[in-house]
Amino acid sequence: MFKEVSIMDNESLPPELEEMLSKVRLKEPPKEAMADYLSGVNAKIDRGPVGTNFGFPQVGILLLVGLAFAFGIIYLFGLNPKKEPIQLIPQVQSERINPPAPELVTGQTAVVSQTPQPASGELSLEDQMALLETFGEETGSTTIEFFGNDELLDEVALLDSVEFSAFEGVQTSTAAV
Amino acid sequence: METVALSDEALIAKARQGDRDAFGTLVTRYQAQAILVAQSVLRNLELAKDASQNAFAKAYFGLGRFREEAKFKTWLFRIVVNEAKDVYRKEKARGLFQFWSAPASTEEETESILEVIPSGGESPRDAYETKEVRGRLEGAIYSLPERERDVFILRYLNGLAISEVAETLGMAAGTVKAHLAQGTTKLKSILLARNVQGGEYHG
């Protein structure tokens, strides 16, 4: 079945080694091992081509990646000493207990009080400044429109005073009740 | 039509058209050599059988990629070598995971790939010495670096021509010759160092 070892081409082999090699050959598999060989090949062909090569190295890598990921999650949610506790429920409760009281000092604050006011602790300094600037600009622009028209300014002032007195009347009647 | 008498090329053409009998003839034609090639890498008959069967299945599914100008035998052996090396790496990795098992297990799994060619009129002493030589030769071959060992085994034990070894291992013929020369020199020095006596190797 197999060619006997013969030295071909130009390579040379030491005669002693050649003699040794001439006394041995590759061990042929026993016939009983070969009996079901073709059926084994056909079974593998019937099983179809194997797409991915997933062996022990791949399992090991997957295990390591999984462990690293799990450790990361545990560290983030369980062991991180720098984490800040999330206080959603206490804030809601404080808003219910202390609803924002309307401050009616001027007509401008009355406009502000109609909009939903966030809790004072919720806004940062920058946010509060931005809010004040926004309302300041609006008031400023409307006031500028009225400049030069004394009659209109007088009317606006009169309306403000009427509204204020009406509100005071409501307050006193509520207090009396 | 009887497929046994057909050439490899004719059988491949039939197998490409889905003729499983034609491919079966190719399997029968090369199965023993394929097992020996796998066994020379794995040194275990069962693993070699499984690896070579996998290689045949891969060859069947890859027949479309087979180039006509190449030899089927060397193309198949290349798949067998790659498959056997893949199995070897997996077994090695599995061995790393089984560190709790008995240390002798790897020795038990390794089988001899060489056998003595029987010759008539050999005395028991000669037979014993030849067996000793076989063991030492095999030990020396497997102490060679991987490339040199593969080239040496395919060339001198599987009996492939240099061009066939080159095609099987995917290297140039000149590289094969260089590996052969280096491997032979190393083998000689290893055998000398192990002082193989008994008229077999005197250096």
Query: Which residues from B are below 8 Å from A40, CB to CB?
Result: 49, 53
pLDDT for B193 beyond 70? yes
Region A113-142: mean pLDDT is 63
Q: Contact at 8 Å (CB) between B113 and B39?
A: yes
Could you tell me if B167 and B116 are in contact, meaning their C-beta atoms sit under 8 angstroms apart? no
- Name the average pLDDT for chain A: 70
| CA angle in degrees (0–180, nearest 5) for A82-A85-A90 | 160
Which tens digits make up the pLDDT trace of A149-163? 777 777 877 887 776
Interface of A with B (CB under 8 A): 1-6, 8-11, 13-14, 16-17, 19-29, 33-34, 37-38, 40-42, 44-45, 47, 49, 53, 55-57, 60
> Is residue B135 over pLDDT 90?
no
From first CA to last CA, the distance across chain A in angstroms is: 119
Q: Percent of chain B at pLDDT above 70?
A: 87
Confidence (pLDDT) at B203? 45
Name every chain A residue with its beta carbon within 8 A of the beta carbon of B134.
23-24
Dist CA B58 CA B66 (whole Å): 11
Residue B114's DSSP bridge partners are A26
Residue with tokens 């192990």: B194
Tokens describing residue A140: 């400023």
Strands (E), A21-71: 24-26
φ, ψ for residue A25 (rounded to 5)? -150, 170
Q: Residue B39 has what DSSP assignment?
A: H
Angle at B27 between CA B88 and CA B50, to 5 degrees: 25
Cβ neighbours, 10 Å, residue A49: 11
Would an 8 Å CB–CB cutoff place B81 in contact with chain A?
A: no
pTM of structure: 0.61
Higher pLDDT, B97 or B32: B32
| Residue B98, pLDDT score | 63
Instruction: Check residue A161 and give its pLDDT.
Output: 75
pLDDT in tens, A23-74: 888 888 888 888 899 999 999 999 887 665 666 777 888 999 999 999 998 8
Provide the ipTM.
Answer: 0.80
Residue A5 reports pLDDT greater than 50? no
- State whether A26 and B40 contact (CB < 8 Å): yes
Q: Does residue A98 have a pLDDT over 70?
A: no
What backbone phi and psi angles, to 5 degrees, belong to B114? -105, 150
Of the residues B4, B27, B50, B87, the best mutation for testing chain A's interface (the one with the most A CB atoms within 10 Å of its CB) is B27
Whole-number pLDDT of residue B97: 63
A115 versus B96: which is more confidently predicted? B96
